[in-house]
Amino acid sequence: MGFTALWISPITAQVPNAYHGYYQTDLYSVNSEFGSADDLKNLVSAVHAKGMYLMLDIVPNHMAYPGCPDKVDYASFNVMGQPSHFHAFCPLQNMQNQTEVEHCWLGNCNMAMPDLKTDDEQVANELNYWVKQRVSRTTL
């Protein structure tokens, strides 16, 4: 078929029963539904052995909490566990409003998605470190 790359869903640990990879709670742990860290390394090796690239999707925008936005337990996140790492809650209602898109939250009382303050230097540094660690630990 001529494929040269494999693009996989985010592998970060998720809220219970999350299936797609975008409800992350722990940046540094692998979602056990997708396998282990060793399984990921084996996948990378197998893909590279075929002369292909592996692209790993990441979620640098938000974390996830299984509950209402006003009840988020920030300490439950292994990193960025302080409210100051996130924009204050405001529901994203207008996708045409750039300020809302950049600073408001997705989700509802089933699944809140606290919006990371990516313009904050500490948050940006942690995200950069996380990506570099993920790449170096899995030889992407």
Range of the domain at 36: 1-59
Is there a single domain that holds both residue 111 and residue 65?
Answer: yes
Is there a single domain that holds both residue 39 and residue 95?
Answer: no
Tell me: the pLDDT tens digits for 14-67?
999 888 899 999 999 999 988 999 999 999 999 999 999 999 999 999 999 999
pTM reported for the whole predicted model: 0.88
**DSSP letter at 52?**
-
| CA angle at 115 for the pair 39 and 30, rounded to the nearest 5° | 10
Is there a single domain that holds both residue 55 and residue 67?
Answer: no
Is there a single domain that holds both residue 69 and residue 107?
Answer: yes
Structure-derived torsion over alpha carbons of residues 58, 66, 78, 87, reported in degrees to the nearest 10: 70
Tell me: the pLDDT tens digits for 71-110?
999 999 988 999 999 999 999 999 999 999 999 999 999 9
CA proximity to 27, closest of 71, 62, 54, 55: 62
* 21 assigned to some structural domain: yes
* 79 assigned to some structural domain: yes
Q: Is the pLDDT of residue 140 over 70?
A: no
How many domains are contained in the chain?
2
Task: Collect all residues with Cβ–Cβ distance below 8 Å to 110 and sequence separation of at least 6.
Answer: 66
